[in-house]
Amino acid sequence: MQKAVTCLVPLRSSIYSKGLEIYRRGGVAIDVETEKSVYLFVEGEHQKYDVRLMSDDTFNCTCKLGSLKAGKGVLCSHVVASILFMSERQSAEKRGAVAKSESSAD
């Protein structure tokens, strides 16, 4: 079970809204998913970045800002978009599981 993604560092609202914008326009795609980490492609304003979210709540991104470790640096908009993408996917999976158990109980 993956635990909920929590915000570890102070988030600047401009970074959050940028990340939300990337997420909303479908700029996030999963590359590889392992037990310990998820690799995602994120389309930034000018280029694509590789984001990695790890199960110990750390992350990195190939952009300048995101290459700093969690707790030391600032979340970049690409990591924000990835977190939004993953948490939405997890809740969609939960909804799917509920729907499935409901129909099988019939």
Q: Which residues bind Zn ion (CB under 5 A)?
A: 49, 61, 63, 66, 76, 78
Sign of the CA dihedral 82, 14, 43, 49? negative
Closer residue to Zn ion (CB): 57 or 93: 57
Q: How far is the CB of 64 from Zn ion (least distance, A)?
A: 8
Closer residue to Zn ion (CB): 63 or 90: 63
What's the rounded Cα separation, in Å, for the pair 15 and 94? 28
- Sheet strand arrangement including 59-61: 28-33, 37-43, 48-54, 59-61
Closer residue to Zn ion (CB): 41 or 90: 41
Kindly state the helix (H) or strand (E) to which residue 93 belongs, with its residue range.
helix 77-104
Q: How far is the CB of 6 from Zn ion (least distance, A)?
A: 19
Q: How far is the CB of 60 from Zn ion (least distance, A)?
A: 8
Closer residue to Zn ion (CB): 67 or 87: 67
Q: How many CB atoms lie within 10 A of CB 101?
A: 9
Q: How far is the CB of 16 from Zn ion (least distance, A)?
A: 13
